Amino acid sequence: MKMTLLVSTSLLALAGCASTPSTSTRASASTSASVSTARAAAVNLASASGSLVSGKLSAMPMGDGVHLRGDVGGLVANSTHAIHVHQNGDCSAVDASSAGNHFNPTGSPHGKAGSGAHHAGDMDNIVANANGVAMVDMHLRGVTLGGGAANDVAGRGLIVHAMADDYRSQPAGNAGARLACGVIKVTR
């Protein structure tokens, strides 16, 4: 009886030392790859395509994504414009084409955020006031800030377009020229 008890106890102890992680350990390891590691970022938008549009935004992880806040100026009074996160953090081209396509790590079609399939970089349009300034206060769901996961927006480009996003046309919502470009740079 003592020998059976000793063997059973030894087997239980060895089972606890197994090298294969439990399901809960594997699940938490995979979700930690898509958790923001940065606490804040800044985006300094500089004019592109000969426009006078510029602005400054802050970004911070919040809930299920990243929250953007700030303003964009130099727009036509009372106009509506698309704003998107783009694949590359490169604004060196005069027309900001160096920022590449919309940020789309899942290969989804373009669409309206929160209304079915859409790119990770798709956001709602911004509207300029009578002074040509658009106040930005929006949440980008399903992305992270820092950490290097596939859905990480740190180091990516942010583009303000000449026209409103129609949320239907592929691949970019018929949003027109790129009026301003900035890189999402982690500050802390």
pLDDT digits (tens, 9 = 90+) for 123-132: 999 999 999 9
In the CATH hierarchy, which fold is given to the domain comprising 41-186? Immunoglobulin-like (2.60.40)
Q: For position 110, what pLDDT does the model report?
A: 84
Q: Sign of the CA dihedral 149, 29, 59, 103?
A: positive
Which ranges in the chain are annotated with CATH 2.60.40.200?
A: 41-186
d(CA 180, CA 93): 11
Q: For position 122, what pLDDT does the model report?
A: 81
The full length of the chain comes to 188
pLDDT tens per residue, range 8-34 = 434 333 333 333 333 333 233 333 347
Q: What's at 88, amino acid-wise?
A: N
Q: For position 51, what pLDDT does the model report?
A: 97
Residue 30: count of CB within 10 angstroms of its CB? 9
3-state DSSP helix/strand/coil percent for the chain, to nearest 5?
A: 15, 30, 55
Q: What's at 168, amino acid-wise?
A: R
Q: Is the pLDDT score of 2 beyond 90?
A: no
Question: Is residue 162 within 8 Å of residue 96, measured between CB atoms?
Answer: no
